[in-house]
């Protein structure tokens, strides 16, 4: 079995497991159960949030639920949640940028979409591509990880990719952290 298939199966199993847990026992994912877990973890709770924020990209977990959870579970530490969330997003982006050939996705994409990659390469190596990455990062309906992977794949300068990412993600992540504090008030 190749790495791509294994990673895909592991990710799907994790998502399916959480869904089954939620359907079988909705109270397991309630506000009270999370508060109880955080109380038991004490000061390690925020350390766990930091760890999850930093490794979630390698596990193909989107940042949005992690950022919302940070705002929901740590409403008294909003600046720290914002900084940790942005560091996690930058770490994930760096990993995807630096290792676009991991698991052979680069070869598969190059063989399957040569014209699209050529067009992407032309657009992402221009100095103004910072704004393309910023717009992509700001738009919540598209995965930011995809543009970071593409930037690494086509050789976009790293500084430009990260600058665009931060410009686009910072207002969005700020809104998600604040929204997380509001969402926590409505959890059952």
pLDDT band at 30 (very low <50, low <70, confident <90, very high): low
Q: What pTM was computed for the model?
A: 0.75
The pLDDT of residue 107 is above 80: no
Residues 6+ apart with CB under 8 A from 109: 117, 153
If one compares 176 and 141, the residue with the highest pLDDT of the two is 176
The pLDDT of residue 103 is above 60: no
Tokens found for residue 157: 């300068």
If you compute the radius of gyration of the chain from its CA atoms, what whole number of angstroms results?
18
| Strand runs labelled E in 31-152 | none
What is the percent of the chain where pLDDT is above 90? 24
Sign of CA dihedral 128, 87, 28, 20: positive
């Amino acid at each position: 079995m190749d790495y791509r298939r294994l990673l895909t199966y592991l990710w799907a199993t994790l998502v399916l497991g959480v869904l089954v847990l939620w359907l079988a026992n909705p109270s397991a994912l309630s506000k009270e159960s999370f508060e109880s877990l955080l109380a038991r973890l004490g000061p390690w709770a925020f350390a766990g949030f930091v760890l999850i924020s930093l490794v979630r990209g390698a596990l193909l977990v989107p940042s949005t639920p992690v950022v919302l959870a940070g705002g929901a579970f740590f409403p008294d530490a909003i600046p720290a949640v914002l900084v940790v969330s942005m560091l996690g997003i930058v770490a994930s982006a760096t990993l995807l940028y630096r290792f676009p050939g991991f698991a052979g996705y680069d070869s598969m994409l190059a063989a399957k979409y040569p014209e699209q990659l050529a067009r992407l390469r032309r657009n992402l190596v221009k100095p103004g591509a910072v704004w393309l990455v910023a717009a992509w990062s700001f738009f919540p309906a598209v995965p930011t990880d995809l543009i970071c992977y593409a930037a690494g794949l086509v050789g976009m300068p790293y500084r430009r990719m990260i600058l665009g990412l931060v410009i686009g993600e910072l207002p969005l992540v700020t809104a998600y952290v604040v929204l997380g504090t509001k969402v926590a008030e409505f959890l059952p």
